[in-house]
């Protein structure tokens, strides 16, 4: 869609692009959502892709994902063999309601900053215990736990002019056992519920991440494997107003699915290695 209120595009912003932020600006990375709808409040686009951020940097500490990394680049990444949870990269990319054409442009950071309940990059990074590095307009930076970034449907902790610079996933999370469940109304539809469970090797802990069915990511942590009743009670304890309601599912339906899938995940881990 043409954005007919835009009067300028900053193609070569400074290394700290927030230093020149002004009202009416928008960060431009993939632009797959930005150009999909009217944006009458915008006057200028600031192109982040020209800053040359490395898309993926592997190290002994884990994986650093540049915010402008495309979904296509993440999907093509081959994790080391000992990163057992590395297959969640592909799983999460495949959870997009988008064609391969969108994958070539859409970015990991863009999906996170859109902060929609069904954002699969949010699901992935919360489940893998990631942190986000945010750059402020005054040049300072802060680190936010992925689980605390999204605060509601299309809402997050970003201040005006603040930009998501990178996502850091620790190697300890990447080496965990994992399983997932996802429900959609149609084969390639938007997620009604997307859940990921992880477990530290050699332990019976459980980290259960619930997204798409809730307005923000919900992460339930158990030091030891819960029994069926305790797990169900933990889901029942999620406040009623945090279950999402849209044409893809009612809050009651999503809560029912979460309880059903949670028990499947619990029994799958109990049954053996994965």
pLDDT digits (tens, 9 = 90+) for 189-231: 899 999 999 999 999 999 999 999 999 999 999 999 999 999 9
* Dihedral (Cα; 265, 258, 65, 132), 10-degree rounding: -120
Mean pLDDT of 25-41: 86
What was the pLDDT predicted at 245?
97
Average pLDDT, the chain: 94
Mean pLDDT of 135-142: 95
Mean pLDDT of 136-146: 96
Q: Is the pLDDT of residue 1 over 70?
A: no
The residue extents of the domains of the chain are 8-50, 52-170, 181-271
CATH superfamily to which 181-271 belongs: CO dehydrogenase flavoprotein, C-terminal domain (3.30.390.50)
**H-state helical runs in the chain:** 71-76, 87-93, 100-103, 108-114, 120-127, 146-149, 171-174, 228-236, 251-271
| DSSP letters for 66-91 | ETT-BHHHHHH----TT-GGGHHHHH
Among 65-69, 132-136, 183-187, the range scoring the smallest mean pLDDT is: 183-187
Please provide the CATH number assigned to the domain covering 52-170. 3.30.465.10
DSSP state of 50: G
Among 71-80, 99-108, 240-249, the range scoring the smallest mean pLDDT is: 99-108
What was the pLDDT predicted at 39?
86
Report the residue count for the chain.
274
The answer to whether 105 and 30 are in contact (CB under 8 A) is yes
Calculate the alpha carbon distances from 15 to 20, 139, 273 in Å. 11, 10, 45
Strand intervals (E) in 79-176: 131-135, 141-145, 150-152, 155-156, 163-170
Q: Is the pLDDT of residue 25 over 60?
A: yes
What was the pLDDT predicted at 36?
81
pLDDT band of residue 34 (cuts 50, 70, 90) is confident
């Amino acid at each position: 869609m043409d954005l007919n209120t835009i009067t300028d595009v900053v193609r070569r912003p400074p290394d700290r692009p927030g230093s020149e932020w002004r009202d009416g600006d928008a960060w431009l990375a993939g632009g797959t959502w930005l150009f999909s709808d009217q944006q009458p409040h915008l006057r200028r686009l600031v192109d982040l892709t020209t800053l040359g951020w490395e898309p993926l940097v592997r190290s002994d500490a884990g994986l650093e994902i540049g915010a402008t990394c495309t979904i296509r680049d993440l999907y093509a990444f081959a994790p080391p063999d000992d990163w057992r949870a590395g297959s969640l990269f592909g799983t999460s990319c495949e959870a997009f309601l988008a064609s391969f054409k969108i994958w070539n442009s859409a970015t990991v950071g863009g999906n996170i900053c859109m902060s929609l309940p069904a954002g699969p990059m949010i699901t992935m990074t919360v489940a893998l215990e990631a942190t986000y590095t945010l750059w402020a307009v005054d040049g300072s930076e802060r680190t936010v736990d992925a689980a605390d970034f999204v605060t509601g449907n299309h809402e997050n902790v970003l201040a005006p002019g603040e930009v998501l610079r990178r996502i850091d996933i620790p190697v300890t999370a990447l080496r965990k056992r994992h399983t997932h469940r996802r429900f959609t109304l149609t084969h390639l539809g938007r997620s009604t519920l997307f859940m990921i469970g992880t477990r530290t090797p050699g332990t019976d802990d459980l980290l259960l991440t619930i997204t798409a069915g809730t307005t923000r990511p919900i992460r339930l942590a158990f030091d030891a494997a819960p029994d069926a009743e305790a797990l169900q009670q933990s889901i029942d304890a999620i406040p009623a107003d945090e279950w999402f309601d849209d044409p893809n599912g009612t809050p009651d339906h999503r809560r029912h699915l979460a309880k059903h899938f949670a028990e499947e995940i619990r029994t799958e881990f109990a049954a053996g290695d994965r």
